[in-house]
Amino acid sequence: MDPRLAVLMRQFELERLEVNLFRGASRDIGSPQVFGGQVLGQALMAAYATVTDRTVHSLHAYFLRRGDFNQPIVYQVDRSRDGHSFSSRRVIAIQNGEQIFTFSASFQAPETGLEHQVDMPAVPTPDALPDFSRPTDEIAARLPEKMRRFMLRERPFEFRPVEKTDFLRPHVGPPLQNVWFRTVDRLPDDEVLHRCLLAYVSDFGLLSTAARPHGMTFPATNLVMASIDHAMWFHRSPRVDDWLLYSMDSPSAAGARGFARGSIYRRDGVLVASTAQEGLMRMVQS
């Protein structure tokens, strides 16, 4: 397995401390605090460890404090309810004796019923787009230090955006973006792993959609952005080692907060998940 993906896989191998208590390792991806997607994915993995024969269909989370990527995170799971068809779990993430994150998720036994979905946007295929996992050396050398550190980190996912972003001269654009993504290597056929990794990667780029109408890119030197909450609904089985389209838009920004939502499609146009997020968007003196 590609070493970049192997490192991420080890992050999802939580240590079981007690029946409902788990510990996960953190990793520096170039952001000033623990990446929100990491906590989201690990919390889902901890909740999954207390559920049998059911799959997650929705989750809702709040980011309370910055996480320190130099320390592990402890996840405490509350088995709220196990019903005939659904199971509910609440998870608290703890560092240094303080809650940094709260999370709730619902799991469902397999069931069939009515189906429909909206169509996938008409966008170029990933084969027609360049890999944008990292900027060229020429562009990287001209980026501010904060942005360069974030952009040059090795990532376990490949990203191919449909809309171009000029990090040196960002321009005002519509509050939407479409990005194809997949892991850099194949993964085991494990439904739990694919759903947890989808939760992880769903935090990449979502909130930055709200900065596009203001001619800003993340991480910008004079804009503080941080996730406040994150919601996700799983409609159908995903495979994150095959191309998925993340179609995002931002209906509003107000009160130093930006709101964004997303739809995640398989390459064949099947909608596998939906997301929504509100985050801090605070202007500071540069």
Confidence at residue 281, expressed as pLDDT on a 0 to 100 scale: 93
Confidence at residue 78, expressed as pLDDT on a 0 to 100 scale: 98
**Per residue in 160-175, pLDDT tens?**
999 987 666 677 889 9
What pTM did the predictor assign? 0.92
**Please, what is the average pLDDT of the chain?**
91
- Following DSSP, what letter does each residue of 137-200 receive, concatenated? HHHHHHS-HHHHHHHTS--SEEEEESS---SSS-----SEEEEEEEESS---S-HHHHHHHHHH
pLDDT band at residue 280 under the 50/70/90 scheme: very high
Alpha-carbon distances of 159 from 23, 76, 95, 114, 232, rounded to whole Å: 29, 33, 31, 33, 20
**Per residue in 34-77, pLDDT tens?**
999 999 999 999 999 999 999 999 999 999 999 998 899 999 99
Instruction: Identify the residue with better confidence: 85 or 27.
Output: 85
pLDDT band at residue 140 under the 50/70/90 scheme: low
Q: Catalytic site residues? A: 203, 227, 277
* E strand spans, 38-97: 55-63, 73-82, 86-95
Q: Is the pLDDT of residue 218 over 80?
A: no
Residue among 87, 72, 91, 53 at smallest CA distance from 15: 72
Tokens coding 209: 């959609």
Q: H or E element: which one contains 251?
A: strand 244-254
pLDDT band at residue 220 under the 50/70/90 scheme: low
What CATH number does domain 3-109+127-283 carry, 2.40.160.210, 2.40.128.720, 1.10.10.10, 3.40.710.10?
A: 2.40.160.210
Spatial neighbors of 226 by CB under 8 A, at least 6 apart, are 33, 63, 66, 279, 280
Domain residue ranges of the chain, discontinuous segments joined by + = 3-109+127-283
